[in-house]
Amino acid sequence: MNVTRPVGETGRFEIDIAEKTYTGANGVPVPVIRDFRLQIKPESMTVLMGPSGCGKTTFLRILAGLDHNFDGSIEMPEETRIGFMFQEPRLLPWRKVRRNIELVADEAFTEEDLLILADALNIADKLDVYPGELSLGLARRAALARAFATRPNLLLLDEPFVSLDEPTADRLRRLLLEVWEARPTTAVLVTHNPREAVMLADELVLLSPRPTHVLETVPVDVPQNERTPAMIEEIYSDLLKRYPENFAA
Amino acid sequence: MTITQSKIRRDARPWASSGPVVTLISFAGFVAVWFLAAYIADSKLLPGPVEVVEFTIDEAVNGPLLSELGITLWRVAAAFVIAMAIGSVIGIAMGESVVLNRWLDSWLIVLLNLPALVIIILAYVWFGLTEAAAIGAVALNKIPNVIVTLREGARSLDPGLDEMARAYRMPAMERLKHVILPQLQPYIAAASRTGLSLIWKIVLVVELLGRSNGVGFQLHLNFQLFNVTAILGYTIAFVAVMLAIEFFLVQPFERYTTRWRNRPV
Contact status of A246 with chain B (Cβ, < 8 Å): no
CB pairs under 8 A between A and B: 48
| Same-domain check for residues A138 and A159 | no
Q: A66-101 pLDDT, tens per residue?
A: 988 899 988 888 778 899 999 999 999 999 999 999
Residue B141 in this model has a pLDDT that exceeds 90: yes
Q: Which of B167, B169, B260 sits opposite A132 (nearest CB)?
A: B260
Residue A87 lies in a domain: no
How confident is residue B193, by pLDDT bands cut at 50, 70 and 90?
Answer: confident
How large is the greatest C-alpha to C-alpha distance in chain B, in angstroms?
72
Q: A2-19 pLDDT, tens per residue?
A: 555 554 445 678 889 988
State residue A4's pLDDT score.
Answer: 57
The least confident of A117-121, A244-248, B5-9, B105-109 is B5-9
| Same-domain check for residues A235 and A114 | no
Q: Would you call A95 and B178 a contact, using CB atoms and an 8 Å cutoff?
A: yes
CB contacts under 8 A, A 109-148 vs B, are: 130, 132-133
| Same-domain check for residues A158 and A147 | no
ipTM of the predicted structure? 0.85
Instruction: Identify residues of B whose CB sits under 8 angstroms from chain A CBs.
Output: 160-161, 163-164, 166-170, 174, 178-179, 182, 185, 260-262
State residue B43's pLDDT score.
Answer: 87
Residue of B nearest to A96 (CA): B260
| Same-domain check for residues A76 and A15 | yes
Residue A228 lies in a domain: yes
Q: Would you call B163 and A86 a contact, using CB atoms and an 8 Å cutoff?
A: yes
- Which residue, among B239, B227, B247, B215, has the nearest Cα to B66 in the 3D structure? B215
Residue A86 lies in a domain: no
- Which residue, among B146, B78, B144, B86, has the nearest Cα to B114 in the 3D structure? B144
Distance from CA of A156 to the nearest CA of B (A): 10
Q: B1-22 pLDDT, tens per residue?
A: 444 444 445 555 566 666 778 8
Residue of B nearest to A149 (CA): B168
DSSP A121-142: TT-GGGTTS-GGGS-HHHHHHH
| Same-domain check for residues A76 and A167 | yes
Contact status of A182 with chain B (Cβ, < 8 Å): no
The radius of gyration of chain A's CA atoms, rounded to the nearest angstrom, is 18
Q: Give the CATH number of the domain where residue A184 resides.
A: 3.40.50.300
Distance from CA of A151 to the nearest CA of B (A): 11
Is residue A45 within 8 Å of A202, Cβ to Cβ?
Answer: yes
Residue of B nearest to A86 (CA): B164
State residue A165's pLDDT score.
Answer: 85
| Same-domain check for residues A75 and A161 | yes
Question: What is the residue-averaged pLDDT of chain B?
Answer: 88
Q: B210-226 pLDDT, tens per residue?
A: 899 999 999 999 999 99
How many independent structural domains does chain A possess?
Answer: 2
| Same-domain check for residues A112 and A166 | no
State the residue range of the domain holding A111.
92-151
Q: Would you call B168 and A84 a contact, using CB atoms and an 8 Å cutoff?
A: yes
Domain termination site, one of A136, A151, A166: A151
Q: Which of B160, B169, B262 sits opposite A86 (nearest CB)?
A: B160
Q: Would you call A150 and B174 a contact, using CB atoms and an 8 Å cutoff?
A: no
Residue A219 lies in a domain: yes
Residue of A nearest to B175 (CA): A103
Domains of chain B by start residue, with CATH: 72-257 (1.10.3720.10)
Contacts of A130 in chain B (CB under 8 A): 260
Distance from CA of A76 to the nearest CA of B (A): 15
| Same-domain check for residues A207 and A219 | yes
Residue A195 lies in a domain: yes
Contact status of A229 with chain B (Cβ, < 8 Å): no
Residue of B nearest to A131 (CA): B260
Residue A237 lies in a domain: yes
| Same-domain check for residues A112 and A67 | no
Contacts of A94 in chain B (CB under 8 A): 182, 185, 260
State residue B160's pLDDT score.
Answer: 93
Q: Would you call A88 and B160 a contact, using CB atoms and an 8 Å cutoff?
A: yes
| Same-domain check for residues A75 and A189 | yes
